């Protein structure tokens, strides 16, 4: 039986491409984003199995309404993908309260609202798959001007792991996956707030959005706790934790 998949941040980038891939293989996809025109364009490209819902996922009530509309339309949800997010280019000492609050709202609280909205439905069914899209920068401080973005994603990592542990014993058929893309050729950097420095964020080749989405499609078929969309990212992260001082010295010249 084909799945019902809810994807936030589905108007472009990874969310849009994932929706197209899943729709092409017969899944029903519920698309959520704030921009109605762009969201409808993605839905039109998918066809009748796409259900666009305009929603601001930084608002808990709108996330709950998204869940309710998905259930009203399809009767159940099999997979929920918390993909909505936004970057910012500001170093730690330059951050304002407003910038911190916005990044936490977009990158952390929106995913928390999604988790709290959909997991009780999964518990009632005894199965389901929650996927949270994070970033390699949540593990490695190689791009210091992404400071609060990286911190918000690191917090998302922790919430994801703790939820997985909470569910493990009683709900073995509810899967919780953390996905960590690296550099992906989307409009993420152009849409980021603040400055957009020209330095290379990491010494890892950028992936196309299609390349980044392929592992996400695979993890829906074969759930695991966490994945990097780029195999080179795992080695990159391992090098950091093996020798933090050496790694940071190497990247210090790229911090500004």
Cα torsion 101, 107, 110, 113: sign: negative
Q: Residue 256: what pLDDT?
A: 44
Please give the residue range of the domain that contains residue 42.
Answer: 4-254
Q: Residue 205: what pLDDT?
A: 77
Alpha carbon distances (Å) from 75 to 29, 70, 71, 81, 175: 13, 7, 4, 18, 20
Q: Residue 255: what pLDDT?
A: 47
Q: Residue 160: what pLDDT?
A: 98
Q: Is the pLDDT of residue 88 over 60?
A: yes
Q: Residue 186: what pLDDT?
A: 57
Q: Residue 40: what pLDDT?
A: 97
| Lowest mean pLDDT across 61-70, 182-191, 244-253 | 182-191
Using one digit for the tens of pLDDT, what is the confidence trace for 159-214? 999 999 999 999 999 999 999 998 887 555 544 556 555 444 446 678 999 999 99
119 neighbors 167 (Cβ within 8 angstroms): yes
Using one digit for the tens of pLDDT, what is the confidence trace for 205-243? 789 999 999 999 999 999 999 999 998 999 999 999 999
Q: Is the pLDDT of residue 34 over 50?
A: yes
Using one digit for the tens of pLDDT, what is the confidence trace for 99-148? 999 999 999 999 999 999 999 999 999 999 999 999 999 999 988 999 99
Convert 23-51 to b/e letters by CB count within 10 Å (16 or more is b).
beeebbbbbbbeeeebbbebbeebeebbb
Q: Residue 12: what pLDDT?
A: 94
Domain containing residue 191: CATH number: 3.40.50.720
**Catalytic pick among 149, 171, 228, 240:** 149
Active site residue 228: no
39 neighbors 10 (Cβ within 8 angstroms): yes
The domain tally of the chain equals 1
């Amino acid at each position: 039986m084909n799945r019902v998949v809810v994807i936030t941040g589905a108007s472009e980038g990874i969310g849009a491409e994932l929706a197209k891939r899943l729709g092409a293989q017969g899944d029903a996809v519920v698309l959520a984003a704030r921009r109605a025109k762009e969201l409808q364009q993605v839905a039109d490209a998918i066809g009748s199995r796409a259900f666009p819902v305009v929603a601001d996922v930084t608002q808990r009530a709108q996330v709950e309404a998204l869940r309710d509309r998905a259930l009203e339309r399809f009767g159940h949800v099999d997979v929920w993908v918390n993909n909505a997010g936004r970057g910012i280019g500001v170093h730690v000492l330059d951050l304002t309260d407003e910038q911190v609050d916005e990044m936490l709202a977009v990158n952390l609280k929106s995913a928390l609202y999604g988790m709290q909205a959909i997991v009780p439905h999964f518990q009632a069914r005894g199965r389901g798959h929650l996927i949270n899209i994070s970033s390699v920068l949540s593990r490695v401080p190689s791009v210091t001007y992404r400071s609060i973005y990286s911190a918000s994603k690191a917090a998302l990592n922790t919430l994801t792991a703790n939820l997985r542990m909470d569910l493990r014993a009683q709900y073995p058929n509810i899967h919780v996956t953390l996905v960590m893309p690296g550099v992906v050729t989307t409009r993420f950097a152009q849409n980021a707030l603040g400055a957009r420095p020209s330095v290379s964020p990491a010494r890892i080749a950028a992936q196309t959005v299609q390349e980044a989405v392929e592992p996400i499609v695979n993890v829906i078929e074969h759930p695991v706790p966490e994945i990097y969309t780029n195999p080179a990212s795992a080695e990159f992260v391992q090098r950091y934790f093996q020798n933090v001082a050496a790694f940071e010295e190497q990247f210090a010249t790229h911090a500004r």
